[in-house]
Amino acid sequence: MIDIHGIMNCIPHRYPFLLLDRVVEMVPKKRIVAIKNVTINEQFFQGHFPGAPVMPGVLIIEAMAQAGAVLILSDVEDRASKLVLFTGIDDARFRQAVVPGDQLRFTLEVLHLRPRACKIKGIAEVDGKKVAEAVILSAMVDRP
């Protein structure tokens, strides 16, 4: 397991854009399972939507990508000098609204991995039900 401090050592994201709380399982270069506890205190709920808060789908995909970045960067020795950037999102589907009080569980599996690029299939679940899925393409680049 990797706690929030370990996640922050792996990826550069910080509040309010760090969208993971814990990694509960990881097989390097193959698979990761991560958790995001969704609370009413999230900034995006102020406007999405007042009186009927729903987590934006794009942020669910971003959280998947952050989990994928943790998976990819965890095995990189000089990860502090690297960034993992989106290069594409394929087959994204949203099946159920994510609301305050939900716990998102992200499971990502590597489909293809090269030294500077990867393709990962991600699934987001709440209470064992699939709420979103996507194939995420990313590139690892040097930080400016």
| Predicted local distance difference test score (pLDDT) of residue 2 | 96
pLDDT tens digits for range 75-113: 898 999 999 999 999 999 999 999 999 999 999 999 999
Reported confidence tier of residue 125, pLDDT bands at 50, 70, 90: very high
pLDDT digits (tens, 9 = 90+) for 6-63: 999 999 999 999 999 999 999 999 999 999 999 999 999 999 999 999 999 999 999 9
pTM for this structure? 0.96
Q: What pLDDT score was predicted for residue 62? A: 98
| Residues with catalytic function | 48
Give the pLDDT confidence score for residue 15 in this predicted structure.
Answer: 94
Which tokens sit at 8? 């922050």
What pLDDT is stored for residue 6 in this prediction? 96
Geometric angle at alpha carbon 89, from 108 and 58, rounded to 5°: 85
- Contact (Cβ atoms closer than 8 angstroms) between residue 73 and residue 37: no
Confidence of residue 3 (pLDDT cuts 50, 70, 90): very high
pLDDT at 71: 97
Distance of CA 80 to the CA centre of its chain: 18
Burial 84-120 (b: 16+ CB within 10 A, else e): beeeebeebebeeebeeebebbbbbebeeeeeeebbb
- CA–CA distance, 31 with 85 (Å, rounded to integer): 18
Handedness of CA 5, 62, 13, 67 (dihedral sign): positive
- Assigned token pair, 73: 């960067």
